Structure 1
Amino acid sequence: MASTVSAYKEKMKEMSMLSLICSCFYSQPHFNNIYKYGDMEVKPINKRASGQSFELILKAPTDLSPDRPQPLASPPKKKDISLDELQKRLEAAEERRKSQEASVLKQLAEKREHEREVLHKALEENNNFSKMAEEKLNYKMEANKENREAYLNALKLRLQEKELHAAEVRRNKELQAKLSG
């Protein structure tokens, strides 16, 4: 059953799509009642009022028509292989397996070494970045400290100037009070 369905699907793929579509447009059957497509025959059946129907006839695979390719003869028989030949083949296969295994192990070792190098480089870059960030932070803190000290010194100087001015104003008031009094 499965082989019949698969053969049907293959033959439907081989049918000309144009002829299939055209047959849907013409509800009247053509004069040629049987269409042949390789191993398949299509007979139109005019039993539906809504459209056209078809009967598909698949030829049996044992059908030996001249246009059908003949099945291949049985494959040539293999010569008998000696036990020594089998042993040589097994040894060669084992050598190939070992060689492939060694190649894979070598690739894995190279990959691990590359990953270690990449990791080491990333750690170095991270350390360098951390050092640079720390240096910048220290520089800014020193600059801020210097700025604060300069600001405080400027405030002290201004305060001293105001105190001197206030002392001078007091002296002037005392002199005025003595002179007027």
Structure 2
Amino acid sequence: MASLGAENTATDQRPKTLADFDPPQKRKRNKFAFACTILASMTSMLLGYDIGVMSGAVIYIKKDLKISDVEVEVLVGIINLYSLFGAGAAGRTSDWIGRRYTIVLAGAIFFVGALLMGFATNYAFLMVGRFVAGIGAGYALMITPVYTAEVFINGGILLGCVSNYAFSKLPLQLGWRMMLGIGAIPPSC
């Protein structure tokens, strides 16, 4: 018993170095991946933001440009039709330059559309801005979910590989049943 207590005090008495007084290191986070995820999620909001802003701005647009009710209705609703063109072109563009750069392109196109709408002096110029913004919103609505889904799919593949290795150490009758059973659990559990 006495020798056990002496061993503990001997290890506690080791000389302290400068590194012993450093604060514990925080886990490094990949800021680039975090920023890409946030920006990818925010691009899905482009169309909703535009529709929300337009519902309030249309009152002032109608007075300033002296447009009719029918023109107001077309102006507000046409972005949904224009976004179809952007969504149609987004697939080829993402195959060509990649999903991440397509998301950047979508934001840039939408930004140019917003600038055109902001500087519009007549109804036709405003519709050109709506068209450009619609293209950008279509790009974003098409590619962002694909990009996000691919991130989760790759995470699932990685989890499957890790669980495959972990469950392969179990007895044969139990291992494959556990692998398939874990995969059948719905994500909401």
The interval holding the TM-score normalised by the smaller chain is under 0.3
Give the TM-score normalised by the residue count of structure 2: 0.27
Between 1 and 2, higher relative CO (CA 8 Å, sep ≥ 6) is seen in 2
Give the TM-score normalised by the residue count of structure 1: 0.28
* Structure (1/2) with the larger helix percentage: 2
